A = this chain, B = another copy of it.
Amino acid sequence: MSLLSPRSVALVGATEASIWSANLIANFTDLGYTGHLHLVHPDRPVQFGRPCHPDLAAIPEPVDHAYVMTGTGAALGVIEQCGRSGVRSVTMLTAGFREVGPEGELREAKLVARCQELGIELLGPNCLGFVNVHDRVPAYGLLLAAPLQPGATALISQSGAMLLHFHRMSQQRAIGLAHMVSIGNEAMLGADHFIREFVGRPEVRVVGALLEGIRNPGGFLEAAALALAAGKPLVVLKVGRSPAGTRSVAAHTGSLAGADAVVDAVFRQHGVIRVRSLEELLETCALLAARGWPEGGRTAVITTSGGACGLVADLAQGTAIELPDFAPATKARLAALLPVFGTPQNPLDTTGVIVNQPELLGACIEAAAAEDGYDALLINTDPPREPGPAPAALEERLAGLARALDSAPVFAGLAATAAVDLTPFGRETVTRHGLHFGNGLELGVRALAHAIEYGHARRHPPRPAGRGGRHPPPLADGWQGTVSETAAKRLLEAYGVRIPPEWLAAGPAEAAQAAAELGFPVVLKVQSPAISHKTEVGGVRLGLASSGEVQAAAEAMLESVAELGLGPVEGLLVARQVEPVAELVAGIFRDPQFGPVLVAGLGGVFVEVLQDASLRLPPIAHSDALGMLGELRGVAVLEGARGRPAADLDAVAEVLVALGELALDFGDRLLALDVNPLLVLAAGEGALAADALLVLDATHQHLEGGKT
């Protein structure tokens, strides 16, 4: 992307009346830009004491990049000028496009079309520009304080102003940056383009993003997959809640998951680290850029104050950080290092003697790292604030710390005790020693937890997205709208999902006879395409124990349905009643952004009251399906809590994998599939879809074969 490294930049629409112009000129002047800066304004020959060209063509050298600050109406004309003058990339600060409604949207479409025709890369419109820190290109509309400290984190933001805060925080903490890009309306270059770009650049090790919406979900997931494969963590502060989906979904599993839960699940599945605040975004990027990530969660904590031990343990609780105690041999080794009143346990307090024996910290790090039981070391010590009375000793201490981190056989990171900005001396010193101190224990622990999650994601990448051109089985030809339970079950059987022994009876007498053959007790359910939720209209009876009961119940049911005016009945489904170990809800719903989403939850209070469900995008592997079940708060129910038998998790996983394949085969045609309940038997005995609700698009023209 040539946009990020222009050797000459023209500020188009530069005027002393605009704060943007003043900021940009100050940024280009004060932050070390080595290329040429030109001003362009149609009728002001001098601005800011500099010559100002009437148009781009008047500039006496090739211009790589135009930063456009004109009025909305003049924007397209500037693009034409760029085309004529060979300007290959444009930042457009100018607003008044998609963000102002349909008219602006049309204006934006024209702008993009013209840029495409002219081969121009367009950033924005309605953005604040970008900063390329390594090449010192500060093409950003707010005033940046010096210096630009080069580093390995690239940040992408929909909110341009937040970059200023991110930059200020990083500066105060001596955290170097590689790039910052304000993407604005993402008319041509969106978040996904910049993720790909940064993943491909050698100076970038971590990509951060601050997003309110995901403009191009498919592109985003592809870029995320590239980032994960490349080992360049993608850390996203996704703010705002997506608007509720516009289509009404009949099946109730759809209501389990707001769109934000989908974002959470999709991010986790694709190794995208989700953070909750600007501070957490910065700290997570900085730790990953400085130290990489651990291969697991087992963490040894070494502190220089007893107060920090309990604090770290508390903060780590409920995160991916585990704090197993030291092995006996390590305890013995540590006991020999510590004073008699020290306690060799994890988290470890080096005790106050550290003040007089600074080398003790390195020795403790070495002892803990030597044990083969840890994936990570977290060291709580504070960055220096002043040279102090013994500057040489301080230097040696910091050099020793850097050596200890770099020679540790596992991941090792530092965290300060409390969140305080570095002093100028501290910034210079930690930068010179290549040290990064997490900004206080709370943020340091959160960043470490994210690094551990990232290592997990690297070891468990998602299955590649499914290919297009897939078809449902022929039996579904011509199906549309709500499909009957029996038809939906035939479809599930075609995907290898088992159904309880059952019979579709035409009337009460046949139902009674079928029940006798299936064996008692039985379940009786009315079958009608007009009835989605049978229980609510008296269309389900459980535990019928004799032919007489079945006949009577069937008659009552038909009468009740007829009274409610629910139209013609397809029949009465009689099924052998199975006593499962657990009841699950499994299904598919469509997310407006990410398409079909698999959902699994425990039945009863878990989904209805606790909204406890686990989501994934298909396709999923068997191990992913087991992971979904492991995420449920009620997972103990499946694992055989309190003397109950364990449920057949493998059978459930097979069902979920099959539902994922089904979802991809149907594609856009599938609105919702709800298997509720999925009766899970004891381990080795399988899982049975006792009811199924399938809703297909009623208007879908399926062009891609199938109608043989």
Chain B residue nearest to A442 (CB atoms) is B277
Chain B residue nearest to A314 (CB atoms) is B239
Instruction: Evaluate contact between A313 and B276: CB separation under 8 angstroms.
Output: no
Instruction: Evaluate contact between A278 and B637: CB separation under 8 angstroms.
Output: no
Smallest beta-carbon distance A549→chain B, Å: 16
- Indicate if A547 sits at the interface (CB-CB under 8 A): no
Instruction: Evaluate contact between B418 and A166: CB separation under 8 angstroms.
Output: yes
Instruction: Evaluate contact between A608 and B240: CB separation under 8 angstroms.
Output: no
- Indicate if A438 sits at the interface (CB-CB under 8 A): no
Chain B residue nearest to A282 (CB atoms) is B418
> C-beta contact mask, A254-284 vs B, less than 8 Å → 1, else 0?
0000000000000000000000111110000
Instruction: Evaluate contact between A278 and B165: CB separation under 8 angstroms.
Output: no
Cα A610 to Cα B612 in complex, Å, equals 11
* Count of chain A residues near B, Cβ 8 A: 59
Give chain B residues whose Cβ lies under 8 Å from the Cβ of A100.
Answer: 341
Which residues 325-353 of A have a CB within 8 angstroms of B?
341
Cα A576 to Cα B239 in complex, Å, equals 55
Smallest beta-carbon distance A306→chain B, Å: 6
Beyond A168-B420, A277-B311, A610-B633, 14 additional contacts (C-beta under 8 Å) are: A99-B341, A161-B305, A161-B307, A240-B309, A240-B310, A276-B314, A276-B315, A277-B441, A277-B442, A279-B419, A420-B421, A605-B605, A610-B610, A610-B634
Give chain B residues whose Cβ lies under 8 Å from the Cβ of A309.
Answer: 240
- Indicate if A482 sits at the interface (CB-CB under 8 A): no
Instruction: Evaluate contact between B162 and A417: CB separation under 8 angstroms.
Output: yes
- Indicate if A537 sits at the interface (CB-CB under 8 A): no
When A and B form their complex, which 7 residue pairs have the shortest distance between CB atoms, in order from nearest? A159-B307, A240-B310, A277-B442, A165-B418, A239-B310, A421-B421, A162-B307
Chain B residue nearest to A212 (CB atoms) is B310
Instruction: Evaluate contact between A418 and B610: CB separation under 8 angstroms.
Output: no
- Indicate if A698 sits at the interface (CB-CB under 8 A): no
Choose from B276, B306, B536 the contact partner of A442 (Cβ within 8 Å): B276
Chain B residue nearest to A355 (CB atoms) is B19
- Indicate if A642 sits at the interface (CB-CB under 8 A): yes
Choose from B306, B307, B605, B637 the contact partner of A637 (Cβ within 8 Å): B605
Using a CB–CB cutoff of 8 Å, the interface residues on chain A facing chain B are 19, 99-100, 157-159, 161-162, 165-166, 168-169, 172, 210, 212, 237, 239-241, 276-280, 305-307, 309-311, 313-315, 341, 355-356, 417-421, 439-442, 536, 604-606, 608-610, 633-634, 636-637, 641-643
Q: List 7 A-B contacts (CB under 8 A).
A: A169-B418, A212-B310, A276-B442, A277-B442, A280-B442, A605-B606, A608-B642
Smallest beta-carbon distance A143→chain B, Å: 10
Give chain B residues whose Cβ lies under 8 Å from the Cβ of A165.
Answer: 417-418, 420
Instruction: Evaluate contact between A420 and B169: CB separation under 8 angstroms.
Output: yes
* A307-B210, A307-B239, A641-B609 known; A315 vs B355 contact (CB < 8 Å): no
Smallest beta-carbon distance A170→chain B, Å: 10
Give chain B residues whose Cβ lies under 8 Å from the Cβ of A210.
Answer: 307
Instruction: Evaluate contact between B609 and A421: CB separation under 8 angstroms.
Output: no
Chain B residue nearest to A309 (CB atoms) is B240
Give chain B residues whose Cβ lies under 8 Å from the Cβ of A159.
Answer: 305-307
Cα A313 to Cα B168 in complex, Å, equals 23
Give chain B residues whose Cβ lies under 8 Å from the Cβ of A341.
Answer: 99-100
* A305-B161, A417-B162 known; A278 vs B310 contact (CB < 8 Å): no
Instruction: Evaluate contact between B440 and A277: CB separation under 8 angstroms.
Output: yes
Cα A418 to Cα B642 in complex, Å, equals 48
Chain B residue nearest to A341 (CB atoms) is B100
Give chain B residues whose Cβ lies under 8 Å from the Cβ of A278.
Answer: 311, 417-419, 440-442
Instruction: Evaluate contact between B637 and A279: CB separation under 8 angstroms.
Output: no
Give chain B residues whose Cβ lies under 8 Å from the Cβ of A637.
Answer: 605, 609
Chain B residue nearest to A608 (CB atoms) is B642
Choose from B157, B161, B305, B418 the contact partner of A168 (Cβ within 8 Å): B418
Give chain B residues whose Cβ lies under 8 Å from the Cβ of A306.
Answer: 159
Chain B residue nearest to A634 (CB atoms) is B609
Cα A101 to Cα B236 in complex, Å, equals 50
Smallest beta-carbon distance A75→chain B, Å: 17
Chain B residue nearest to A279 (CB atoms) is B419
Chain B residue nearest to A317 (CB atoms) is B241
Cα A418 to Cα B440 in complex, Å, equals 15
Cα A239 to Cα B441 in complex, Å, equals 13
Give chain B residues whose Cβ lies under 8 Å from the Cβ of A279.
Answer: 418-419, 440, 442
Instruction: Evaluate contact between B315 and A420: CB separation under 8 angstroms.
Output: no
Cα A100 to Cα B351 in complex, Å, equals 14
Give chain B residues whose Cβ lies under 8 Å from the Cβ of A643.
Answer: 536
Instruction: Evaluate contact between A421 and B608: CB separation under 8 angstroms.
Output: no
Smallest beta-carbon distance A221→chain B, Å: 22
A280, A355, A609: most-surrounded residue (chain B CB, <10 A): A609
Give chain B residues whose Cβ lies under 8 Å from the Cβ of A157.
Answer: 307
* A240-B313, A307-B162, A442-B276 known; A419 vs B634 contact (CB < 8 Å): no
A172, A315, A417, A536: most-surrounded residue (chain B CB, <10 A): A417
Give chain B residues whose Cβ lies under 8 Å from the Cβ of A642.
Answer: 608
Cα A311 to Cα B558 in complex, Å, equals 54
Cα A341 to Cα B96 in complex, Å, equals 9
